[in-house]
Amino acid sequence: MLYQNLRLSTEDGVARVTLARPEVRNAFNADLIRELSDAFARLGADPNVRAIVLAGEGKTFSGGADLNWMRAALDCTEEENIEDALAMSDMFRTVDRCPKPTIARVHGAALGGGVGLCAVCDVVVSASDAIFGFTEVKLGILPAVISPFAIAKIGRSHARALFLTGERFGVDRAMAIGLVHHCADADELDLSIDRLLGELRSAGPQATQIAKRMIEEVCAVDYDASRELTAKRIASQRVTREGQEGIRAFLDKRKADWVRQ
Ligand code: COA
């Protein structure tokens, strides 16, 4: 797929996906949703990609759903509106389930669906002056499609407080509710991300992906089922080449071979 609304580059195992509609603060319409779904599905399956950084071009990370596109919904049938919303939901799901570690690089603002994108990334690194908000109710609409992902990330209590008021909040609150993990001055955001990428590069690529999937698996079952499941996961990882190499490298006081890749 040729991307019109995204910029994509891959270097040294790191894919960078940049929302590229700065004139509307990287608001997403049907085209951008399609492109994001395609990019994350492709990068997730690319064996050369170790991690993905999602960022926004221009002044801000993302102002959420494109309100001109939403306004055009008036001319669409209910079925067409449902199809649009389902496509958006599938896009969030694709990012959420992307097997590779994902990092959101937030600056300016992450509002509405923009916060939704934060909720589906594994690690969120934010500029210290960024603002966040589930602002949909201010527009008379709902944080609907993003809600399963946002509630899973911040919990019911914060979802109730923030979905209902639509209030905007800063990075301190975003960190307190588990939406943001690291905060840096705007001009040091990339340094902070490079440090994280260094951590990811030194972790076993296969172990990282299985750990990500295991979190979802464990959350979906009760303790008895998770006891069986986690025993299977660690037992099979221990005997992989990667598991053996990681342990041997530690005992030999050298770096594991994937660190040099
Ligand atoms: N959809 C469509 N256009 C949007 C948009 C959105 N979600 N967010 C911003 N834009 C457009 C503005 O209409 C404006 O267009 P114009 O230049 O034709 O007037 C342009 O982007 C710049 O917006 P502006 O508000 O001047 O930029 P800013 O840098 O001062 O502020 C935001 C950026 C994101 C904080 C602000 O635009 C905003 O609050 N947007 C609404 C976010 C929102 O509530 N999203 C929820 C969607 S469900």
Q: What confidence tier does 260 reach under pLDDT thresholds 50, 70, 90?
A: low
Residue closest by Cα to atom 1 of ligand 1: 66
**pLDDT value at residue 121:** 98
**pLDDT value at residue 151:** 98
**pLDDT value at residue 200:** 96
> Which residue bears the tokens 């951008």?
32
241 CA → ligand 1 middle, Å: 50
* Average pLDDT of the residues in 101-106: 98
**SS3 at position 100:** coil
Atom of ligand 1 nearest to the CA of 111: 45
Residue 251 has pLDDT above 80, yes or no: yes
- Looking only at the bridges linking them, the beta strands covering 131-133 and 168-169 are antiparallel
* Average pLDDT of the residues in 131-142: 97
CB 85 within 8 A of CB 106: no
Q: Residue 30 burial by CB count (10 A; 0-12/13-18/19+): exposed, middle or buried?
A: middle
**SS3 at position 26:** coil
Cα 70-74-75 angle, rounded to 5 deg:
115
Q: pLDDT tens digit string along 185-243?
A: 999 999 999 999 999 999 999 999 999 999 999 999 999 999 999 999 999 999 999 99
List all residues 6 or more positions away from 161 whose beta carbon is below 8 Å from its beta carbon: none
Give the DSSP H/E element, type plus range, for residue 102. Answer: strand 102-106
**pLDDT value at residue 74:** 83
Question: Residue 93: phi, psi to the nearest 5?
Answer: -65, -40
**pLDDT value at residue 73:** 84
Strands (E), the chain: 6-11, 14-19, 51-56, 102-106, 109-111, 123-127, 131-133, 168-169, 182-184
170 CA → ligand 1 middle, Å: 18
Residue 29 has pLDDT above 70, yes or no: yes
When the pLDDT of each residue in the chain is averaged and rounded to a whole number, the result is: 96
- Looking only at the bridges linking them, the beta strands covering 14-19 and 6-11 are antiparallel
Q: The domain 6-201 belongs to what CATH superfamily?
A: 2-enoyl-CoA Hydratase; Chain A, domain 1 (3.90.226.10)
The full set of domain ranges for the chain reads: 6-201, 205-251
Closest CA to 192 of 170, 171, 168: 171
* Average pLDDT of the residues in 43-72: 96
Question: What percent of the chain lies above the pLDDT cut of 90?
Answer: 96
Active site residues: 136
Question: Which residues form ligand 1's pocket by a CB distance below 6 Å?
Answer: 24-25, 27, 59-60, 63-68, 109, 111-112, 135-136, 139
Q: What confidence tier does 35 reach under pLDDT thresholds 50, 70, 90?
A: very high
**pLDDT value at residue 10:** 97
115 CA → ligand 1 middle, Å: 14
> Rounded to a whole number, what is the distance in angstroms from the first to the last CA of the chain?
29
> Which residue bears the tokens 């799901």?
93
Give the DSSP H/E element, type plus range, for residue 6. Answer: strand 6-11
